[in-house]
Structure 1
Amino acid sequence: MARNGEMALGLYVLQAGYIEGAWRDPSVPRTGGVDIDHYAHLAALAEGAAFHFVFLPDSPSVVERDDANIARAGRNDTFEPITLLSALSSKVENIGFVATATTTYHQPYHLARMIASLDHLSHGRAAWNIVTSGNKFEGANFGDEEIPEHDVRYERAREFVGVMKGLWDTWEDDAFVRDKKSGIFVDTAKLHVLNHRGAYFSVRGPLNIARPPQGYPVLVQAGSSDAGIRFAAEFAEVVFTAQPSIESGKHYYANLKRQVRQLGRQDDQVLVMPGIVPIVGRTKQEASDKLKRLQSYTDPEVMTETADRWLGFVTDLRSIDLGSLVPATLPRTNFIQSRQKVLLELAARQKMTWRQLIRTISDSRGHLMVVGTPDEVAETMINAFNEHAADGFNLIPAIVPSGLKEFTELVVPELRRRGKFRSASSGKTLRENLGLKRPLNRFTRAA
């Protein structure tokens, strides 16, 4: 996306909102996690504000480690993303759909077929958020005692993405002639069988669905570890990252774009879109009061469990003096290494105690959090954009639908007034709206 002065915006959707206890707020639908109308309402709000896409996270497991925390968690009753987004594709017309799916516990043929189907169903609005599994409980659902080592997961992911692209290129764009008079449905001269043999996968092909309308659905990736950044530089077109300050965002942005260029890619074809958690009030005090109310919904044990999980299960915070300072380092985790690093760096920079870090993780998980007026939220976003810390943002409402509604009604008009956000969709496909090129079929390109 050429930086024409306007940022991209995505909506990161959790059924109640990002703050753990948000589901307890009276304004949140009780059964929203399994209510298609609830998600359709959120998608319609985002589409009406000209957001570029809706982004659904996912984990193929319950992430809490004991019944006491499972009992209080409001996130274990929700749809699988590709299924949900396929349903939403008939309810909203312009907004894109980012589906999270792990390369560690899927097979590429199945996933290539499902995401191609989503791209066809939505007429070219699909994207795949490539993750490598970061939760210790996922492996047991697929026959593993533990998930594979961090760097091994990325090696598998690299091969996985290559297979997916090869399968999406099975058919040239005009292969399906569907000529009723001659009886020829497909021109097999434009069929290409993959015949992949690799370290992790053996996939013959061909894929039994036409090439996706976008060529490939938009590729999204959220890793910020060294391995994750290398992977993003090689494959990603949209990068979702947690950067708690503009300064950390500038460093990440420059590092990623440099690696993108070193690989011969155009850096305007890789969009950096960090998360932002805004608490918006018409006054600063009103915004602070909203945050305090939302914080009051989260049980202290749930907060501690959440912090342990995002730090990678390398310590037991229930046995630590919460008034003591957070150490500069912790044992390296096999799970989400980049988030542990971001959180420890934030704690060191602000000289946080464990109690303060636990609260910060509960509120924002290390994403940029802004508590203030519409002008203050917009100013923070514009500064990050102008300082090359972001090409846009993934909005992460602390609570939905109210947090999303406040942002669209109060902050979006301010961004537009300053010429930093569009007022309508600019294309039919997600690629067109993001300014991303449609990839050529590898087989026709080679020819």
Structure 2
Amino acid sequence: MRLTLALLACSAAAPALAEERFPAILAGHAILPAFTMVTPPAAAPRDLWVSGKFTGKQRNEDPMTVEGDVGKAYGGHRTGISLPFIGQPVQGMSGLAMNRDRDGSWFALTDNGFGSRINSPDAMLFFHRMQPDFDTGKVARLETVFLRDPDRKVPFRIANEATEGRYLTGADFDPESIQFLNDELWIGDEFGPYVLRVARDGRVLSVHGTTLDGNAVAGPDTPGVVVPAQPGTDFQAQRSGGYEGMALQPGTNLLWAMLEKPLLGSDGQPEGGFLRVMTFDTGAADWTGDSHRFRLSDGATAIGDFNFIDDTRALVIERDNGEGDAARACAEGTADQSACYPQPARVKNVVLVDTASTDADGFIRRIGHVDLLDIADPDGKAPEGMASTEGRFAFPFFTIEDVARVDDTHILIANDNNLPFSGGREIGKAADNEFILLSVPELLAAR
């Protein structure tokens, strides 16, 4: 969900990266509408049948009464969709699994709801099976599976502790990455940060805390961290800085869990313009002790997803905190920002890396990237009004959090629309969940 700008300074301090930029061609476009809701299970507490009641300064029990907006720093644009919601929003596509289901559908993950523990206790946690149809331009939601803890595997008190169903909510975890292996799901969380092993039916099978160099890693929202807490001492992971990307390595079945933001050093400041990557052995259900580093390019502040394309090469989404078309950027000093973007999108890349090639400091080699703000559309695949006059297409969303290889020449990309708090495509309108198919044969063949 939305992040602070705290990483701009450390990212800008990183050395410029000399790597090849590869072309990308839009091969398909499909939409899951922003206002897509799912009905909670019949056994869910009645409190969960209306979501988003705690997103303001006080409880609001009146559905559809407070219109969402993108926030003052982004121009305060209204999004046209109001809280609280009747039902649970499908919004927030925050991860795609590398392995698909038997019918070819994709496992996609919805995040914690509205961005924090405090405002998401009535947002249920779930994953889906989805199938974009690039002929019709629509995305089918084939199945939604709700996460629950009937066997009390979660090591802390959950929001629905005393209920029979023990359904998990955004007050418990912030799921941001997902993998499918041997008919089970592995989910990376940002709050702990934790790795969750989940049955196909949504039951939590185990929860694993994080260790790095033999030491436990906590965040400001990890149970047991209390105020006052010293950054870098009491916790090392930044808020909303856990496992945004968690790739499953073919052959080894290792999870390569990448933090979204740099860890904090003993001085409480980010340790550098890079992200830690730790490996988790799914067979042993434990961390291997190995760790690596991913260097962010200039202007990038976070990553959105991480997935292997073969035994060693993988795709990483890196991004800045901007949203919206840079051609509509607000002029410096503009007081009325109602028709412009004060922080437009400028860095939205899909980077190809080789995990088998690291330098002496543990940095994973970056091979090259494609720019999601400059996609060719020679065949007119973009919906009407989305392509530029030059026949280019952009994906200018704040949080782009889904990437996976489709075949030898194509990749699938999708955004997290932060409903109802992000726009990006059109001022005054909540961003839809867009799925795009990109033809990138040069990128996928690069070594």
**Normalized against structure 2, the TM-score is what?**
0.30
* Larger RCO (CA within 8 A; separation ≥ 6): 1
**Normalized against structure 1, the TM-score is what?**
0.30
